[in-house]
A and B are shown apart, each in its own frame.
Chain A
Amino acid sequence: MMLPFLIVIPLFGAFSMPIVSLLGRKAREAWAVIVSLATLGVAGAVFYDIWSTKKVLVYTLGAKSPLGQGVDFPIRIVWEVDLLGAIMILIVTFVAFMAILYSIGYMKHDTGLEKYYTLILILELGMLGIVMTGDLFNFYVFLEIMSIASYALVAFRTDTWEGIEAGIKYMFVGSIASSFILLAIALLYGQYGTLTMSYLAAKMAENPTVVGKVALSLFIAGLLFKSGASPVHMWLADAHPAAPSPISAMLSGLVIKAGGTYALARILFSIYGTSVGMKTVGWVIIVFACITLIVGNAMAVIQTDIKRLLAYSSVGQIGYILLGIGIGLAAYGTNAGEIALAGAIYHTVNHALMKALLFLVAGAVIHELGTRNLNELSGIAKTMPKTTFAFLIGAAAIIGMPPLNGFASKWLIYESSAIFNPVLGAIAIIGTAFCTAAYVRVLYTFFGKPSERVMEAKDPEGSMLLPMIILVLAIIVMGLFPWQISEKIMIPAVDMLKDQVHYITAVIPNFIGGA
């Protein structure tokens, strides 16, 4: 059984980092790379296992069976991974590996790096825990691990005023959001007396209560905070620019999805499932998604700071993912709902890849030129051709140009929203128009006349260039087989996500009920 190694390896790496770093800088970097590479390997094996068998993988901590002796309900912590979880595991470990590889060159001039690598491994660990857990309190613990590691990493450069400011803002907002989630878990425990997600789902299907609905609203509120949806996206626009670039790549590519949209989808589909009015909940999500789409993308157009532009663009892309989840709920059981959900999952993966790439490129530019102001960056295509090419690919992918991976996922969302409700389709298109404007503006700057400042810049060193090249290749290769990926991976993931009865019976085999 490979599953626990996804927790054991990063935990071991993080705990042993202070000892390893006594051996010096090289050892610590090598250790971080080895640990994250090993995690990626395990993640690949877990993904392949789940994908090829199409089974929900259940792992019990402490014993062989989750059920107590002589009773038919689970008493232990279970980890429960379906195909959606497996996709998230793979993308989290992949992008985290890229970010750690990139950090070797990027963080060269910083101090306190043993803490940096410990925190980045803890951040990866927290996200992996969130996506694999089947226990509600375990979920909360991993959510806090992820959040606290990211607060610390956002404020990592304590000698800059903006790091501290963004860190404080993120910490206050994030702690309030976490306490909403904890309150929701406490309410559910008080009402149903269990914390296992699948057993809770079974109990809730038998006996839906008002307390369950209050808890649901608290969950939605807290998780929309964490995913950076409008109108609570303000922490994100400060946190992402202030963090070191590999951290921005992880925050924007992974944290807001693992702790935000993934958790939302898991709680809405696997726990609440059919026991609440899905149409109402779906429309609540859709409303927030539309606001997020427009606000995020429109704010991206007017930014002059490259990382702030990318941060607002992340808010806009979260809007697409939320729109997919919302339509998936509101049009539950129809073809449009299924396509929308497949689009949302697909876009999660694609956006993780391309936003990671864009933030790594932005980091390379900042590293070489020391400025984030777009007005001073004109003409870097001349002196940093490889970096600019990577940005070109990333920008084209995020807009949704056909040969790249962003096209297919956005198409699925457009198509389903247009079938479901043409107004939503129109809003999605408007969002993309703003997004296009923002990125064309950046590209226009990059290809413009070289300014004085840009003349002595050059492409970054190998350890920073390699992750960018790998991400570009991933984007192009995924762009070549969009419908195959959608058919073979995303649609089965949707089927497994919607199959709540299977999610329950994977833990409680003899559960019979009208879930």
Chain B
Amino acid sequence: MKSNDMGLIVKTMARTTIPLIGIFGVYIVSHGHLTPGGGFQGGATIAGAGVLLLLAFGLSEMRKRYNHKVYSVLESIGGLTFLGAAMLGFSVAFFYNTLWHNGPVLNGQPGTLLSAGYLPIMNLAVGLKVFAGLVSALAAIAAYRRWKE
């Protein structure tokens, strides 16, 4: 039998670890303004879950679950959100952190989750963009062509 996925043990382990990697990545992204890490690190971690899916279950499974258009749109939503957050305080200056200075949200006590103005938004945006970008890039490379024509 010719199969391009890995064995039962690897697949079972992947089933349990993929959600854990995803949750940990989301934690890194959402606590970017409080703990080490941030958008890029968290996004790359979540993309690691995607890579594990690709490796453990093979390209055929990945093809079923990966839609190029969706990821492309997700990536551009990430970029647009970042740009939008940078434009929020445009009446003062580009990248002016108006959420932090004037509210209404994300201007809590420093050290709490809802603080730091536009930073959490930008971390989420960067995380989304990095995740979508890395997964699309790796899916495109995996699906590219075969070794020979």
A17 within 8 A of B: yes
- Considering only residues 247-263 of chain A, those with a C-beta below 8 Å from chain B are none
Interchain CB contact under 8 A, B80 and A16:
yes
What's the dominant secondary structure at chain A's contact region? helix
* Chain A interface size range: 10 to 19
Check if B83 sits within 8 Å of A8, measured CB to CB.
Answer: yes
Min CB distance B85 to A, Å, is: 12
In the bound assembly, the distance between CA atoms of A62 and B98 in angstroms comes to: 9
A11 sits at the interface (CB 8 A): yes
* Selected interface stretch from B21-29, B35-43, B67-75: B67-75
Task: Tell whether, in the assembled complex, residue A11 and residue B94 are in contact, meaning their CB atoms are under 8 Å apart.
Answer: no
Is there contact, CB below 8 Å, between B94 and A4? Answer: yes
B114 contacts the other chain (Cβ, under 8 Å)? no
Q: Tell me whether B143 is interfacial, beta carbon within 8 Å.
A: no
The answer to whether A61 and B80 touch across the interface, beta carbons within 8 angstroms, is no
Question: Does any Cβ of A come within 8 Å of B87's Cβ?
Answer: yes
- In the assembly, what is the distance between CA of A15 and CA of B75, in Å? 8
Partner of B92, one of A18, A22, A63: A63
What is the minimal beta-carbon distance from B73 to any residue of chain A, in angstroms? 6
B72 proximity list for chain A (CB < 8 A): 18, 114
B110 to chain A, nearest CB (A): 17
From known contacts A15-B76, A15-B83, infer whether A22 and B93 are also in contact, taking CB-CB under 8 Å. Answer: no
A466 within 8 A of B: no
Judged by a CB distance under 8 angstroms, whether A64 is at the interface is yes
Q: Contact at B93–A15, with CB atoms within 8 Å?
A: no
User: Is A463 close to B, CB under 8 A?
Assistant: no
Q: Which residues of A contact B (CB under 8 A)?
A: 4, 7-8, 11-12, 14-19, 22, 59-64, 114
Chain B interface (Cβ < 8 Å from any Cβ of A): 69, 72-73, 75-77, 79-80, 83, 87, 90, 92-97
Closest 10 CB pairs of A and B: A15-B79, A4-B94, A18-B72, A18-B76, A62-B95, A61-B95, A15-B80, A15-B76, A61-B94, A19-B76
Interchain residue pairs with CB less than 8 A apart (25): A4-B90, A4-B94, A8-B83, A8-B94, A11-B83, A12-B80, A12-B83, A14-B79, A15-B83, A16-B76, A16-B80, A18-B73, A18-B75, A19-B77, A22-B73, A60-B93, A61-B93, A61-B94, A61-B95, A62-B93, A62-B97, A63-B92, A63-B93, A63-B96, A64-B93
Q: Beyond A19-B76, A64-B93, list 12 extra A-B contacts (CB 8 Å).
A: A7-B94, A8-B83, A8-B87, A11-B79, A12-B83, A14-B79, A15-B80, A22-B69, A62-B93, A62-B94, A63-B92, A114-B72
